[in-house]
Chain A
Amino acid sequence: MRSPIAFLLEGFARGRDAEALVCAGRSVTYGELLEAVERTRARLDAAGLPRGAVVALEADFSPEAVAALLALIERGAVVVPLTDSVAARHETFRRIAQVEWRLAADGAPTATGLRAEHPFYTRLRREDHPGLVLFSSGSSGEPKAAVHDWLPLLEKFHAPRPALRTLAFLLFDHIGGLNTLLYGLANGACLVVVEDRGPETVCRAIERHRVELLPTSPTFLNLMLAGGAWRRHDLSSLRRITYGTEPMPQSTLERLHAVFPGVELQQTYGLSELGILRSKSRGPNSLWVKIGGEGFETRVVDGLLEIRARSAMLGYLNAPSPFTDDGWFRTGDAVEVEGEWMRILGRRSELINVGGEKVYPAEVESVLRTLDGVLEVAVTGEAHPLTGQIVKAVVRLAADEEPAAFRRRMRVHCRGRLAPYQIPQKVVFSDRPLHGERFKTLRREAGI
């Protein structure tokens, strides 16, 4: 069988002198990346890593990590990427994924003593296909481990696309981060790696390295706009901003468009279980999108989005199948449909029911974010004897304010922008950030 990454390595050889990665002040060309892949191959050979082994790649974006990822895929391994952002849970992740070997970006693989015998692994080995395990946060309890076959995941990268200098914002162990990486590698683009994902660092890197594509999350964009980091740097190189992982607040989208009128804003829709779908927005300011693209079909059942994907995972290692009998994945995302367009409202499980009226947190958050002095906000439901649930907002403010004064100001602001039942009945203040490492608003954690 031809190596599944041969098409990538051939591209590297053709564009030898082009910049592949900029990382911690170091610039690496595609030629050098190819050499790094060869060195990793030798290390894996020396350690006698068997084909089909389940290997935790404990690394973040770096030339060595990228080389290790490619060498593992080539070797038919099942790769379990683990970044420092989840350091405290590595042991749990290794146990769930039955990790047999551990590999740091620039070290030799070491055996863990575990044996991986899950039926999905057996199937991958029988077909001699490389695999990938990604963890999704899961709404409760243990994180869910999604097992993928790399072959269908890699398929879409065979089609050439424009090479844009891209910032590696999404993480190395995230479907979005891997998508960014492979898109860049397949098209000979340069990937810019940042030390941290704060707005200042990201904006500085965009200016310094003339970044053209920023794949990110609505929470990050909102923090960037709220803190004014975009004013202090020259971001004129940006051509496209993509955002996914959570619903985009209308208010953030409008401000973003006003601040970056010439930049294409594109929503993506990706899931650890399915890969990243292509999407097309109805207009620059619109949350209405068409999602799908080759290899994906969508349908809406009872207001919930279902997707059938060629690149869908085989299944979870540690949870029941989320697929219907005919292979559709139940996303749990509630959507509104208008002809061929749809708007993603949010997780059905996060829906708040106030006396029979439905409230989606994202819509309320969107309005609260336009209030002066509000840095971050997370909206959740709280049980209440009168109406079943009430809307509770956890707010992080730029400066202290008397609670009653803020609530008053908030109610005046919300009037006319939200229905009475959507206006938070309860407001709690937080001085901690309301987002996690992945720059997604943490409603559950904020809802304590």
Chain B
Amino acid sequence: MRETVLEVIREAVHEALEGRGDVQGAALEEDTVLFGEGGLLDSMGLVTAVVAVEQALADRHGLVVSLADERALSRRNSPYRTVGTLADYTLELIGPAAP
């Protein structure tokens, strides 16, 4: 499941970067910084990527998760910091019911 989620995140981040004309296809490792200091995404990019992850999970896997809510925003360590932290947070929300 983790690999599936990572793939969805990579695709979503590329989609968000494309919208800004950033098409060089950055290699997205687990520790690639997405948001915050030195991150790939600005705030519009982050919103786009987060919504794209939600939509892809719903479209392809029938999973309805909300990656941006009070819980996500109030965490001390932002779940949006890196590809890996976003994957962790997504898996946490999907829970053990994951296919």
Q: Which A residues are closer than 8 A to B by beta carbons? A: 354-355, 384-387, 390, 403-404, 407-408, 411-412, 414-416, 420-421, 423, 425-427
Contacts and interface: CB of A to CB of B under 8 A. Distances in A.
Given A416-B21, A420-B20, A420-B42, 15 more contacts: A354-B44, A355-B43, A385-B70, A385-B73, A386-B50, A387-B47, A404-B55, A404-B59, A411-B15, A415-B18, A420-B44, A421-B44, A423-B48, A425-B44, A425-B47
A408 B51 contact: no
Nearest to A416: B21
B19 A403 contact: no
A379 B88 CA distance: 32
B93 interface: no
B52 interface: yes
Contacts of A386: 43, 46-47, 50, 68, 73
B82 to A, nearest CB: 17
Contacts of B70: 385
A404 to B, nearest CB: 6
Contact of B15 (A384, A404, A420): A404
Interface of B is mostly: helix
B59 to A, nearest CB: 5
Contact of B19 (A387, A415, A426): A415
Contacts of A407: 15, 52, 55
B36 to A, nearest CB: 13
Contacts of A355: 43-44, 47
B91 interface: no
24 contacts: A355-B43, A355-B47, A384-B47, A384-B51, A385-B69, A385-B73, A386-B50, A387-B47, A390-B51, A404-B56, A404-B59, A407-B52, A411-B18, A411-B19, A412-B18, A420-B19, A420-B44, A421-B44, A423-B48, A425-B44, A425-B47, A425-B51, A426-B51, A427-B55
A361 to B, nearest CB: 18
B12 to A, nearest CB: 9
Contact of A415 (B21, B43, B48): B21
Interface of A is mostly: mixed
A411 B72 CA distance: 26
Interface size class of B (residues with CB under 8 A): 20 to 34
B59 A390 contact: no
A385 B68 contact: yes
B80 to A, nearest CB: 9
Nearest to B80: A386
Contacts of B51: 384, 390, 425-426
Interface in B6-43: 11, 15, 18-21, 42-43
A415 B20 CA distance: 7
Interface in B54-85: 55-56, 59, 68-70, 72-73
Q: Of residues B19, B45, B50, B72, which shows the largest number of chain A Cβ atoms within 10 Å of its Cβ? A: B19
Nearest to A420: B44
Contacts of A423: 19, 48
A387 B20 contact: no
Q: Of residues A354, A387, A415, A425, which shows the largest number of chain B Cβ atoms within 10 Å of its Cβ? A: A425
A427 to B, nearest CB: 7
A408 B20 contact: no
Q: Of residues B18, B43, B44, B70, which shows the largest number of chain A Cβ atoms within 10 Å of its Cβ? A: B44
Contacts of B48: 423, 425
A222 B42 CA distance: 35
Q: Of residues B45, B48, B59, which shows the largest number of chain A Cβ atoms within 10 Å of its Cβ? A: B48
Contacts of A390: 47, 51
Closest 7 CB pairs of A and B: A411-B19, A425-B51, A385-B68, A420-B44, A425-B48, A403-B59, A386-B68
Nearest to A392: B51
A416 B45 CA distance: 15
B9 to A, nearest CB: 13
B50 A408 contact: no
Contacts of A403: 55-56, 59
B49 to A, nearest CB: 9
Nearest to A428: B55
B91 to A, nearest CB: 20
A256 to B, nearest CB: 29
B62 to A, nearest CB: 13
B44 to A, nearest CB: 5
A407 B12 CA distance: 10
Contacts of B19: 411, 414-415, 420, 423
Contact of B43 (A387, A408, A416, A427): A387
